[in-house]
Structure 1
Amino acid sequence: MEENVLRPVVVGVDGSAAALAALRWAAASARSLRAPMVAVHAWVPTRALCAHYAPVSELRTPEEDHFHARNILNTTVARMLELDPTVEIRALLDEGAPAPVLLHHARHALLLALGRGPRDDVTQSALGAVARVCVRNAVCPVVTVPEPSSGNRSLERCRPPEAAMA
């Protein structure tokens, strides 16, 4: 496993319960693989997402957007550390659209872990737009971890299969 020392387990973090579930799964995986873990949050300035005629006074400044994004990342990592104080996480904030940012940071990763939100009905895709792009284009394995449903504690029993990861 010596070749894993510099290859991280990368986790996409967006502040959701699904992202926290992915972070928990990735922490167990990184521990079993003896690999570092990197939590990545991608952000795009609000103004870049709005039409040129949108009222500027109602938009956040780039500095406010950066602060908000940093807060999402820090809060999610802090929640993870509350659940498992022994986990080591490198938190990385990167400006850009989520899929390209995650793919960039997963270039040399052992795997990319992403949260997967609940599906409301069978007509919805099992994966969101970012996960679909990552699954199609990542050069490493991509794991999608479901958001735990209310009252469902199955994630606590979910551990990465060491034999499959070795």
Structure 2
Amino acid sequence: MPQHMDEKPWPVVVGVDGSTGAQAALRWGMAQAKLTGSTVEAIAAWQYPEVYGYSYGWIPSMPEGGEFAKTAEHALLETVDTVRGQMDDPAQVSIRVAEGHPAQVLMDAARNAQLLVLGSRGHGTFSGILLGSVSQHCVQHAPCPVVVVPQP
């Protein structure tokens, strides 16, 4: 869907998981947003861990969904604050924490974005893999251009 000249530019969406790769992606996304007169939407996703059950019939206690959301929000705020502190004139950043698989959350956010920016690897990937599973999925399926920022 094309953007009209009188409308504010669509945001640059950045996936943030608290990793150093996410910091690099956010830094790049904020610089790009500043160049295009846009804003950044920094997004962290969380989901309940998979539980397969136990042979003894009990499941260890799990934190409520709010705890997972709070942890994701804390990592997101910490990353945004760190990156803002490293820049002279940072772009405006809004934050959002969403429940769901990171790839799906980012795909949904990218529908109204000019650009989706990701780190090449986040938390939970093997160090030898060049692209993490979320980055790989987004590169292949995103509804907007995708920039994958390499590890610093």
TM-score (norm 2): 0.84
Q: Is the 8 A contact 1:13 1:39 kept in 2?
A: yes
1:76 aligns with 2:75: no
The answer for unaligned runs of 5 or more in structure 1 is 149-166
Instruction: Give the total of aligned pairs.
Output: 142
2:53 — aligned with what?
52
- Distance in 2 of aligned mates of 1:137 and 1:27: 23
Amino acid at match of 2:73: R
1:4-153 counterparts in 2 under 5 A? Answer: 5-46=8-49, 49-53=50-54, 55-57=59-61, 59-84=62-87, 86-87=89-90, 88-117=92-121, 120-121=127-128, 124=129, 126-148=130-152
Give the 3-state SS of the residue equivalent to 2:13 in structure 1.
Answer: strand
Task: Let me know the Cα RMSD of the aligned residues.
Answer: 2.1
Q: Is the 8 A contact 1:42 1:95 kept in 2?
A: yes
Instruction: Give the Å deviation of 1:104.
Output: 0.2
Instruction: Give the Å deviation of 1:2.
Output: 3.5
The answer for unaligned runs of 5 or more in structure 2 is none
Change in Cα spacing, 1:101 to 1:120, as seen in structure 2 (3 Å) is closer
TM-score (norm 1): 0.77
Instruction: Give the Å deviation of 1:39.
Output: 0.3
In the TM superposition, structure 1's runs of 4+ consecutive aligned residues that sit over 4 Å from their partners are 118-121
